Chains A and B, each alone.
Chain A
Amino acid sequence: MEILSSFILLGKGILSCLTLQNLLCCTIGSLIGSLIGVLPGIGISGTVAILLPVTYGFDPLTALIMLSGIYFGSAYGGAITSILINIPGEATSIVTCFDGNPLAKKGKGGKALSISAISSFLGGCIGIIGLTIFATMLSRVALQFGKVEFFAIIIFGLVLLTTVASKNMLKGLIVVCLGVLIGCIGLDEVFGSLRFTFGVVDLFKGVEFVTFIMGVYGITELLFAIAGEEESGEIMNYSKADLYPTKSDFKAIWKTVVRCSCLGFGMGLIPGCGGTLATFFAYGLERSLSKHPEEFGEGSIVGVAAPEATNNAAVYGSMVPLLSLGIPFSSSMAIMMSAFIVHGITPGPLFITEHPDLFWGLIGSMLIGNIILLIINLPFVGIWASMLKVNFSILMPIITMVTFAGGYAINGSVFDLGVMVVCGFFGFFLNVCGYNMAALAVSLFLCGTLEDAFVGTMTLYKGNLLSAFINRPIGGVIFLAAIIFFLYSAGKNFYNFAKTKNTK
C-alpha cells in the first residue's frame, strides 16, 4: 500500500515538472551537460560546479530539475569520450572503454554510443523505480558500513581488479599495488605526514585521479599515435545501418541491462566507492555468464551495456543516503548537496516528510531528464560517430589540445599538466609492457578510502585485524570472500599457465 502511494506521489512529482519552463530548463541542462561532459577532465562534479551559478536565479524546483539534467547529461558525455577516444571522464566510465573503444575502432562507434545511451536510460529508469520504492526503507543501509566493512570491501574490490581488468593476474597484481603506491603520494589524510613529495609543495595534494586518468589515457593514446602502434591515417567507414542497435542486439542486452541495473542500484548504496566497483563487478559477472566471453574486450555490445546500465543505476543508489539522510558520500553528491543548500533546502532526515513536493518533483525530474537525454542524444549519435571519420592527423592534435585544456581546468594549475605528461609517459611504457591501465587508475582512486578505512580499523581494534573481523562479522565475511576469490583466481591462473607451458 505504501509502495502504491509512493508511485502516486511520483506521478504528482512528474506532473509538477511538466511546465514549459521546467521542461526547457531540463532540456538545456542535459544538452549543456552532455556537451561539457564530453570535454575530458571536467567530469560530472566539475560540470555541475561550473554550471551551478547559472541556476541561482531560478525557483528551487526548476533549479533542481536543471541540475539533474546537467548531472545526467555530463554522465552521458563521459561515456562518449570513453567510447570514441578512450578517455574516461569519471571512475565509473572506465569500464565502458573496455569494449566501447574497440567497437569504435571497428567503425561501430555509433552503435556503441546508442547502446550506451539506451542502457543508461534503462539503468536510470530501474534506478528511479528503486529510489521510489526504497528511499525511505533503505535510508539506514549506508550507515551500516563502518571502517572495518569499508576495508574489507575495498580489499575485495582490489582483488576483483587484479582479475577482471587484466588477463594476467600477476600483472594485474603489480599494477594494483603500483596504483595504491601512487595514491600514497602527498599529505596523508589521517596523520598529516608527507610522503614521496620531495619538498615540492604542489605534490602535497597528491596525484589527482582525474589528472592521472587524462595522463594514462589521453597522453598515452597520443604517444601511441606518434609511435605508430595504431593504424593512423585510416578513415573509418561505417554505414547508417550500423548506427542504431538492431532487434537481435536488444535481445542480447536486455537481460544484462536488467541484471546490471539491479546490481548497480544495490552497490550504489555502499557509500563512496560502490558505483565504481559495481561497474567492474558487473563486467566480470556478465563475462562469466556470457556465451561468448572471448568477445569481451574485443568489442562486445554487452560489454558496453553492462557498465553503463550499472553506473546509472548506481547514481540513484548513492542518492538514497543524500536524500533520506542528507549525507553526501561522494564528491559529485557533495556538490549536488551544496546546490540544494544554495537554494535554501537542507537535505536531512526530515527532507522527505517536510518537502514531499520537492522530493518527488526531483525524482520526477530525473525520470524526465533521462527521457529528454535519450531523445536529444540519439540523433547526435551520427554526428559524434562521424568524428571518427576525421583524419587521424587532424583529430589527434585537437584531442591533445582539449586534453591539456581539461587538465589545466581541473585546478588551474600548470603543475598538473606536468603531472599529466609524466603519467602519460608512465602509462605508455606500462601499456607497451602489457599492463592494464584500468586497474592502475581504479586502485589509485580507491587508495584514499583504503588507507582511511585501514587506519580507522587499526585504531578501533588496537592493531588487531583478527579481532576486528570477529567483532564485525559482515566485514569478516567479505574479507574471507576476498581471500578465497584471490586464491581461486591465483590457482586458476597458475593452472592455465602450467597447461600452456606443457602444450608448448
Chain B
Amino acid sequence: MKRIISVMLVLCLSLMLFAQGGSEAAAADSSGAWTPKGGNVNIIVPFGAGGSSDLTVRAIVNNGAKYFPDTTLVVENVPGGGCAIGLTKFVTSKPDGFTIGNTSTPMVVLPTSTTTQPYVYYEMVEPICRSAVSTFVVYVRSDSGIYNLEDLKNEILSREMILACNSKGGNSHWEMEYFAMKNGGDVTAVVYDGGASAIAAVLGGHADITVQAPNDGREYVRSGDLRAIAVLNTERLTDSVYADVPTSVEQGYPWLTNVGFQGFSLPKGTPQNIIDFYRECFRNALADPVIMEETEKLGMIPAYLDADEFSAFIDESVANYKEIFSALEGRLD
C-alpha cells in the first residue's frame, strides 16, 4: 500500500511541473516604444538544424545581434511535416513579441495545395519583412538522355516517370505535376524525407526527376552525376555551375516558374509597436553586407521587402498558387 501511495506521490509531484508552465499574463501595452528588455526572443525555424533555411536565419542571428537592441535572439528548430509542425507552433504561440516565425514559401503553399493542414498559416501572421528569394532547378540523371524540358515532356508522355519530392503538395512536388498536367501527362510522386534523400533516390535510379534548390544539387552537377535541365525562374543563375542552364521561360514554359521566399513574421494580433520594433531591427540587419554575403553563399538571393510590401507579396503568391492548385484538382493529395 505504502508503495502505491509513494508512486502516486511521484505522479502528483511531476504533474505539478505543468501547473507552473506559461501563465505570465503580460498585459500588452500598444502605446509607446517597445523592446523585449533583454529577454529571450525565439525564432521558430520550421526546418531542421543545418539546412540552408536554418543557416540563413543563423547568419542573421550570429552577425546581426547589434541591430536588435535589448534582445537575445534564440533559434528554435521545429522540423517535420514539411514545415507544418513548426508553422503550427508559431501561429499558435502568444503574440507578445517573444516569438518570431521564420515564414517561408511553405506558409503559403501548404494550406493552398492540400486540405489536411490544421491552419491556414498565411492568414495568421503579421509580416515583418521578406529577407531573400530562392529559385529551383530541375535535375535528372546525366545518363538519362534528357537535356531540356522538351525532352522531359516527351519522356513523360511516353512512359511512367517517377518524381522524388520532399513533401506532398510542397515545392519540389507541384512544379512537375503541373508541367505534366499542362502537357497532358502524369508523373508518380514519391515522398522522401528531404532534399538529400530525394537526390540519393535519383542517383540510385529509384526516381527519374527531382526539383531542388540550386545548392542541394550543385555538387552532383559538378561531378557529372546529375544534369540540371532548367532553372524555374525568369533569370539564369549567376553561379558558374549553372550559368549554361536555360530558364524555363527561355525554353518556352513561362507558366512554369517558382520563386521561393524567406521572411519573418509575428503571430496575428501582435501590437503595432512590437511590429514596428522588429521592422526597424530587420531592416537594418538585412542591409548588413556580411549578412547579405552569407545569404548569397547559401544559394539565396537577398531581396528585402518591408512589412507592407511583403504582405502584398504574400497575397499575390496566395492568388497565384491557388490558381495553379485549383488547376491541378487534387492531383497533389
- Of the listed stretches B76-84, B148-156, B243-251, name the one at the interface; the rest are far from the partner chain: B76-84
Q: Which of A144, A226, A459 contacts B7 (CB 8 A)?
A: A226
- Of the listed stretches B95-103, B189-197, B265-273, B310-318, name the one at the interface; the rest are far from the partner chain: B189-197
CB–CB A190/B168 < 8 A: yes
Minimum CB–CB distance from B193 to chain A (whole Å) comes to: 6
Residue B289 lies at the interface, judged by CB distance under 8 Å to chain A: no
Mask, A253-276, CB within 8 Å of B = 1, is: 000000000000000000100000
Residue A298 lies at the interface, judged by CB distance under 8 Å to chain B: no
Measured in the bound complex, the distance between the Cα atoms of B95 and A444 in whole Å is: 35
Q: Which of B15, B20, B78 contacts A205 (CB 8 A)?
A: B78
* Given A147-B190, A204-B85, A414-B17; A192-B200 close (CB under 8 Å): no
* Given A143-B204, A349-B219, A350-B223; A192-B84 close (CB under 8 Å): yes
Measured in the bound complex, the distance between the Cα atoms of B177 and A437 in whole Å is: 44
Residue A456 lies at the interface, judged by CB distance under 8 Å to chain B: yes
Mask, B85-125, CB within 8 Å of A = 1, is: 10011001000000000000000001000101110000000
CB–CB A228/B191 < 8 A: no
Q: Which B residue sits closest to A204, measured CB to CB? A: B85
Number of interface residues of B (CB under 8 A): 57
Within 8 A of B (CB), among A409-445: 412, 414-415, 417-418, 421, 425
Measured in the bound complex, the distance between the Cα atoms of B230 and A232 in whole Å is: 68
CB–CB B81/A226 < 8 A: no
Residue A233 lies at the interface, judged by CB distance under 8 Å to chain B: no
Residue B60 lies at the interface, judged by CB distance under 8 Å to chain A: no
Within 8 A of B (CB), among A143-202: 143-147, 186-194, 201
CB–CB A146/B191 < 8 A: no
* Given A204-B85, A414-B21; A192-B116 close (CB under 8 Å): yes
Within 8 A of B (CB), among A375-425: 412, 414-415, 417-418, 421, 425
Number of interface residues of A (CB under 8 A): 57
Measured in the bound complex, the distance between the Cα atoms of B114 and A406 in whole Å is: 37
Measured in the bound complex, the distance between the Cα atoms of B25 and A356 in whole Å is: 58
Q: Which of A193, A222, A417 contacts B116 (CB 8 A)?
A: A193
Q: Which A residue sits closest to B83, measured CB to CB? A: A192
Measured in the bound complex, the distance between the Cα atoms of B207 and A147 in whole Å is: 10
Minimum CB–CB distance from B162 to chain A (whole Å) comes to: 7
Mask, A334-347, CB within 8 Å of B = 1, is: 11011001000011
Within 8 A of B (CB), among A1-57: 49
Residue B14 lies at the interface, judged by CB distance under 8 Å to chain A: yes
Contacts of B118 in A (CB 8 A): 194, 204
Closest 7 CB pairs of A and B: A348-B219, A338-B50, A143-B204, A349-B223, A187-B81, A146-B206, A414-B21
- A residues neighboring B (CB under 8 Å): 49, 140, 142-147, 186-194, 201, 204-206, 222-223, 226-228, 271, 321, 325-329, 331, 334-335, 337-338, 341, 346-351, 412, 414-415, 417-418, 421, 425, 452, 455-456, 459-460
- B residues neighboring A (CB under 8 Å): 3, 6-7, 10-11, 14-15, 17-18, 20-21, 48-51, 55, 76, 78, 80-82, 84-85, 88-89, 92, 110, 114, 116-118, 162, 167-169, 188-193, 196-197, 199-201, 203-206, 218-220, 222-223, 225, 333
